[in-house]
Amino acid sequence: MIKIGIFMPYTQGLDTIFKKIKKEMGYKGKITLIKPKNELEKKKAIPEVDIVISGPLTNEEIIEAKKLKLIQVPYAGVEEFNLNLLKDRNIILSNVHGNATSVAEHAFSLLLTLAKGIVVNDRDLRKGMWHGWMSNEPNIEIEGKTLCIIGLGSIGKKAAQFGKTFGMNVVGVKKNITNVPNVDKVYGANKIKDAVSKADFILLAVPATNETKELINKGMFNFMSGKYLINVSRGSVINERDLFVALKNHTLKGAAIDTWWLYPKKQHEFQYPSRYPFWLLDNIIMSPHTAGYSDKSIGINWEEAIINVIRFASGKKIKNIVSTEKGY
């Protein structure tokens, strides 16, 4: 019997989804789902589980999980896990990428909102203030403009597809140079400044790792004068202060940020997303980390996670194993 701990809020009808996927995959083994209602129940369950579907576990929880063989995360970001400890304890960490379309759509919504001045136009027209032809402020056509995508994983590839749909020139930055569909030219990580300097819009879609921490900083902003930056990656990829200064000084023409540095610790808690007052700036669009949270992506992510868990329980090869060296 395989014991699977569900250590996070889960999608509606989870038991039914498990049964459906087990039947579709022809899995005959017995599975017990353990769904703790509180921290005490979770603490009791940890030593018994073989697999967990979970967000980050503490070091103490990982050490207490004597039987744990797989942590399946039902989303993409895994930067909060202690990868060295997982490696030492031979625990596999896997994620899913079922929200790539949702994130890429959101990124393009932000890009278009920047280009067309939608937020400013809406805000000011409510006060009777007109932009556009009334004030000699044309918006920007993105057809023929250059989009630089930093990070060409699932999200980056989908964003490249959207870029081509809009008639953009698309360049990308990738650790290992390979041909990528819908990308006109791929630059290696050591040529990131060359790629950025050619772009009108820069989209960040890299995972949060030690290598990408504060990848975008004062030095990089020197190559972004008059450009637009969109971040659907993680806040840690950008130096917080340097971004604020680049926007305040109008080095950057504008930015749209979905991922931040500070978050509420619980639902409905008041929390500004940064130590710096971005909300006072008029050249930034602020989005509350909702790019991957869509009507479809949540269910897709959970189904992908459950399929991976059943494959693991069946002794089959699983998808999206996170490298403890690379962090993705």
- Kindly report, residue by residue over 200-258, the tens digit of the pLDDT: 999 999 999 999 999 999 999 999 999 999 999 999 999 999 999 999 999 999 999 99
Q: Is the pLDDT of residue 11 over 80?
A: no
Residue 173: inside a domain, yes or no?
A: yes
Q: What is the pLDDT of residue 10?
A: 82
CATH number at 159 reads: 3.40.50.720
Residues 163 and 262 in one domain: yes
Residues 305 and 240 in one domain: no
Residue 184, both tokens? 């006109």
Q: What is the pLDDT of residue 319?
A: 95
Q: What is the pLDDT of residue 141?
A: 98
Give the number of other Cβ atoms within 10 Å of residue 9's Cβ.
6
Q: In sequence order, which residues have a C-beta less than 8 Å from that of residue 297 and are 6 or more positions away?
A: 98, 99, 101, 102
The answer to whether the beta carbons of residues 93 and 322 sit under 8 Å apart is yes
Q: pLDDT digits over 91-109, tens only?
A: 999 999 999 999 999 999 9
DSSP 203: E
Q: What is the pLDDT of residue 203?
A: 99
Residue 325: inside a domain, yes or no?
A: no
The answer to whether the beta carbons of residues 289 and 235 sit under 8 Å apart is no
Residues 25 and 128 in one domain: no
Residue 184: inside a domain, yes or no?
A: yes
Q: Is the pLDDT of residue 134 over 90?
A: no
Q: In what order do the strands lie in the sheet with 146-150?
A: 185-188, 169-174, 146-150, 201-204, 228-231, 254-257, 284-286
Residues, the chain, total? 328
SS3 label, residue 81: coil
Residues 162 and 141 in one domain: yes
Query: What pTM was computed for the model?
Result: 0.92
Q: pLDDT digits over 52-89, tens only?
A: 999 999 999 999 999 999 999 999 999 999 999 999 99
Residue 252: inside a domain, yes or no?
A: yes
Percentage of the chain modeled with pLDDT above 90? 94
Q: Apex CA 88: angle with CA 153 and CA 94, to 5°?
A: 30
Residue 74: inside a domain, yes or no?
A: yes
Residues 120 and 77 in one domain: no
Parent domain of 70: 2-98+296-313
Residues 277 and 302 in one domain: no
Residue 124, both tokens? 């000011």
Q: In sequence order, which residues have a C-beta less than 8 Å from that of residue 41 and are 6 or more positions away?
A: none
Residue 127, both tokens? 């006060």
DSSP 322: P
Q: What is the pLDDT of residue 136?
A: 87
Distance CA 137, CA 31 (A): 62
Average pLDDT over the chain, rounded to whole? Answer: 96
Residue 324: inside a domain, yes or no?
A: no
Residue 322, both tokens? 């996170």
Mean pLDDT of 175-180: 93
Residues 130 and 229 in one domain: yes
Q: What is the pLDDT of residue 12?
A: 75
Residues 76 and 121 in one domain: no
Distance CA 92, CA 173 (A): 28
Taking each continuous run of H as one helix and of E as one strand, the counts in the chain are 11, 12
DSSP 323: P
Residues 162 and 77 in one domain: no
Residues 15 and 161 in one domain: no
Residues 267 and 308 in one domain: no
Residues 89 and 108 in one domain: no
Percentage of the chain modeled with pLDDT above 70? 100
Residue 327: inside a domain, yes or no?
A: no
CA nearest 72: which of 327, 319, 295? Answer: 319
Q: How confident is the model at residue 266 (pLDDT cuts 50, 70, 90)?
A: confident
Residue 244, both tokens? 């604020």
User: What is the count of structural domains for the chain?
Assistant: 2
Residue 326: inside a domain, yes or no?
A: no
